[in-house]
Structure 1
Amino acid sequence: MAFTDLLDALGGVGRFQLFYTALLLLPCSLLACHNFLQNFTAAVPPHHCRAPANHTTAAANHSGAWLRATVPLDQAGAPELCQRFTEPQWALLSSNSSGHGAATEGCKDGWVYDHSVFPSTIVTEWDLVCEARTLRDLAQSVYMTGVLLGAAVFGSLADRLGRKAPLIWSYLQLAVSGAATAYFGSFSAYCALRFLAGMTFSGIILNSLSLVVEWMPTRGRTVAGILLGYSFTLGQIILAAMAYLIRPWRWLQFAVSAPFLVFFLYSWWLPESSRWLLLHGKSQLAVQNLRKVAAINGKKEEGDRLTQEVVNAYIQSEFASGRASSSVLDLFRTPAIRKVTCCMMAVWFSNSVAYYGLAMDLQKFGLSIYLVQVLFGLIDIPAMLVATTTMIYVGRRVTVASFLILAGAMVIANMFVPEGEPSLLPNLPPTESREGRLVGEEGAWGMGVMGSGGQ
């Protein structure tokens, strides 16, 4: 007999499983907000070099003319982002003049940003443009490094301390580090706190999935895994809505972090995995949890008949095959497990490179960043419906292989799409263009300049 047989006897996929799964998947939906948060908090607005301090009066009185005379244009006819003329070129105000050959210099006095779409981002606050533009990508890499380290740390803790304790700590750590990110005013503190938030991503995902699966009978596990994917999809749509309503980056950072304090508070009442309790010799507590589950599922009589001996009988096979201790090396210890581990590592690597390479720089799509974020979420819905159906009726291996082949074919086909192809939605209102500039009838600069390209 297996432990899942005991769960079937206590109600199967009953009220407890449904309620328990909902409470665990709700925080997972907001994790997507943190994963893709920098699409909005690190958005790059249109910008150009700030005028020298001794020319501020002229700049204020003749803003359009002053910009044309002090900032050269790029090949697309838009103001250069990182260069200005060393001396004003007033001759350029004539339609027949060109600034070719005029001496230029970097933005020694900083930048002027267009705040019409994004009132503030980490880019505008710390000038992460031009020579410093790589720091913006560094911040996201630091976050993903936290995700990697968190998988090792919280995965190991889950085996030793149970699933519940690391999950509770992850909720608290994300609430505190996320809120603190909105408070501190230095870029180094921002990166350090984002690293801590990234660690909790793994802690929450791994332990939530473990708790859901270990409380779910076998016939409900595929659907539970798909629901986790849908919660992530929901989170992407929630992020787009929140980012549209809350434009300043610090307020948005706080808004997606504060709910985890609520998750931290109610997680204390979530029962630990009885399977983990039994495997670690805590039979009495496991029986208490199972009786509560039986009562919630309307199987109180079956729960009352449970004893430690009866419950242990359901898990004897796992006791017999279990190891006294476990580590990541167990994934490579035997040829069969080593083969599966290496294959899954390759699958996750290729999937992550393709997906995150697209999803973490949405400004390059040439549409409103809010719309693209929603589209990314909505595309997942039919994809997961197909995946759910094929996994149930065809199997997981065929489903994974088919989707990988399809994704690879689409990525390769995208290489042959010429740059500068017109948008599929040409009648949208003025919005951000492919790389951060505003596109509209008059542009963002009051000069009638059509922007394209960016930093």
Structure 2
Amino acid sequence: MAFQDLLDQVGGLGRFQILQMLLLCISSLITYPHILLENFTAAVPGHQCWVHILNNNTDSANATGTLSPDALLRISIPLDSNLRPEKCRRFSRPQWQLLNLNRTFPNITDLDTESCVDGWVYDQSIFTSTIVTEWDLVCESQSLKSMAKFLFMAGMLVGSIVYGHLSDRWLAESARWLIITNRPEEGLKELKKAAHRNGRKNAGDALTMEVLRSAMQEELEAAQIKSSVFDLFRTPNLRKRICLLSFVRFANFMSFFGLILHLQYMGSNVFLFQVLFGAVNLPANCVAFWALNHLGRQVSQTLFLFLLGISILAITFVPQEMQTLRMAVSALGIAVSSVTLMCSFAHGNELTPTVLRVTASGFLGIASNIGAALAPLLMILTVYSPHLPWIIYGVCSILGGLVVPLLPETRNKPLPDSIQEVEKERKDSRKAKPEGTFMKVTQF
């Protein structure tokens, strides 16, 4: 763990590190809103079948103006099981006899109905135009809306793979990673840069290649062996970690994007939900910081993944009429989902060796984006049951919580630099160690 000593000399958290974090925040601020736009560009407004007698203002049948819009609606559109106008069916011909029934609702199953062969009429009071109204992605075509969201998220998956090597060149490389990957000259340059920006010029000037090689002799010898993505699965301990981390990240992202991409399911006011969900993210990150520091990585992820699953299942069975309760439970779900994401990122980085940490992050990112892409695709299952996709989101979160305890705790433990150190941990974990004998490297 000689690198930690070098990092302490140049400054572990100073202006240099803060600048890098700010640059990352700017890139996130640019990207994230594009994902949330799907809640507005793909919103489904109220709609019903277009009916000639109801929606054609020049129709002679109502030229006298004796029939109100409600009366015309009654003879044109059948009612569903909730006594609301059907969205996908209309009467084959006007049912004039329904005008004389006052408030009673007869059995209309014998009346001829048909699909919306002439198109739909949309409520434009909130959304004047969306992809749903432009392309009529309702009724039999409603699954195409989920496909549109899926293609957007799949584009993120492809982009993360194709452009991953290009997107991080405007940020400083990790000095630790440069040294471990047999690029000590570049690593030394980055350490000196960090020291100068952190106001420790003397410490930076004192760093030489001889000092670096002396401090990290073991790591530099290991760096002579070239590594690849296949090394993630060559050894049993690392392979187990990657597989378990991939499932946890997959389940977490699928549940998270299942929530944030379907705000309209939570309630009619998507604008209020968007503001609320954005507001809960800041305190959620503070909770994540506290939990990681006091509860540890295992307990934090397990606890909040369970809470996430329970929250999603609760949303599923809370009636639409109870908007306040649905809003509260939904906000809780978004908050705990953000906490689990923070915990998962920290845990994943601390479980993978430095020599493969970038590669592992890329692989876990693929698993994450697959979960994010599947989140909207699962909404196609609503044709069988409106609750089915949400049950899957909730169950996957709970399963992820059950998997986390199979991963080792990393709080207050040194970061592994090589695959050998990861495999050695399995043997060392069988031997009891006195409290406080390890280096506090991953403590926040």
> What TM-score, normalized by structure 2, do the two folds share?
0.62
Q: Secondary structure at the match of 1:84?
A: strand
Greater Cα radius of gyration, structure 1 or 2: 2
Q: Of 83, 86, 91, which residue of structure 2 is paired with 1:77?
A: 83
Distance 1:422 1:282, change over 3 A: closer
2-structure distance, mates of 1:364, 1:395: 34
Which residue pairs with 2:2 in the alignment? 2
In structure 2, runs of 5+ residues without a counterpart are 327-385, 387-444
Structure 1 residues 292-301 or 130-139, which shifts more? 292-301
2-structure distance, mates of 1:352, 1:284: 38
> What TM-score, normalized by structure 1, do the two folds share?
0.61
Distance 1:408 1:35, change over 3 A: same
Residues 271-317 of structure 1, C-alpha deviations (whole Å, 9 max, x = no match): 33334444455444444443333222111222233333434445444
Cα deviation for residue 151 of structure 1 reads 4.7
2-structure distance, mates of 1:109, 1:50: 6
Q: Secondary structure at the match of 1:357?
A: helix
Residues 407-440 of structure 1, C-alpha deviations (whole Å, 9 max, x = no match): 344455566x4645533379xxxxxxxxxxxxxx
2-structure distance, mates of 1:166, 1:313: 33
Which residue pairs with 2:23 in the alignment? 23
Equivalent AA in structure 1 for residue 131 of structure 2: I
**Correspondence 1:402 to 2:311:** no
Contact 1:92 1:99 in 2 (8 A): no
2-structure distance, mates of 1:50, 1:109: 6
**Correspondence 1:422 to 2:322:** yes
Which residue pairs with 2:137 in the alignment? 128
**Correspondence 1:166 to 2:167:** yes
Which residue pairs with 2:34 in the alignment? 34
Contact 1:72 1:99 in 2 (8 A): no
Q: How many pairs align?
A: 318
Residues 83-103 of structure 1, C-alpha deviations (whole Å, 9 max, x = no match): 122222334344537582332
Contact 2:213 2:220 in 1 (8 A): no
2-structure distance, mates of 1:67, 1:50: 11
Distance 1:154 1:396, change over 3 A: farther
Contact 2:76 2:94 in 1 (8 A): yes
1-structure distance, mates of 2:304, 2:325: 27
Distance 1:315 1:368, change over 3 A: farther
Distance 1:343 1:272, change over 3 A: closer
Q: Secondary structure at the match of 2:125?
A: coil
Which residue pairs with 1:439 in the alignment? none
Equivalent AA in structure 2 for residue 79 of structure 1: P
Distance 1:58 1:91, change over 3 A: farther
Which residue pairs with 2:272 in the alignment? 371
Q: Secondary structure at the match of 1:57?
A: coil
In structure 1, runs of 5+ residues without a counterpart are 158-164, 169-266, 427-452
2-structure distance, mates of 1:311, 1:346: 38
Structure 1 residues 26-35 or 307-316, which shifts more? 307-316
Contact 1:70 1:89 in 2 (8 A): yes
Cα deviation for residue 116 of structure 1 reads 1.2
Distance 1:366 1:271, change over 3 A: closer
Structure 1 residues 22-31 or 47-56, which shifts more? 47-56
1-structure distance, mates of 2:224, 2:133: 53
Residues 361-399 of structure 1, C-alpha deviations (whole Å, 9 max, x = no match): 111222511222233333444443333222113321222
Distance 1:336 1:425, change over 3 A: closer
Distance 1:413 1:370, change over 3 A: closer
Contact 1:43 1:123 in 2 (8 A): yes
Distance 1:381 1:333, change over 3 A: same
Distance 1:387 1:146, change over 3 A: same
- Sequence identity, in percent? 43
Distance 1:154 1:308, change over 3 A: farther
Q: Secondary structure at the match of 1:67?
A: helix
2-structure distance, mates of 1:397, 1:319: 32
Which residue pairs with 1:50 in the alignment? 50
Structure 1 residues 278-287 or 51-60, which shifts more? 51-60
RCO greater where, 1 or 2, for CA within 8 Å and sep 6 or more?
1
Q: Secondary structure at the match of 1:108?
A: coil
2-structure distance, mates of 1:113, 1:306: 69
Cα deviation for residue 74 of structure 1 reads 1.9
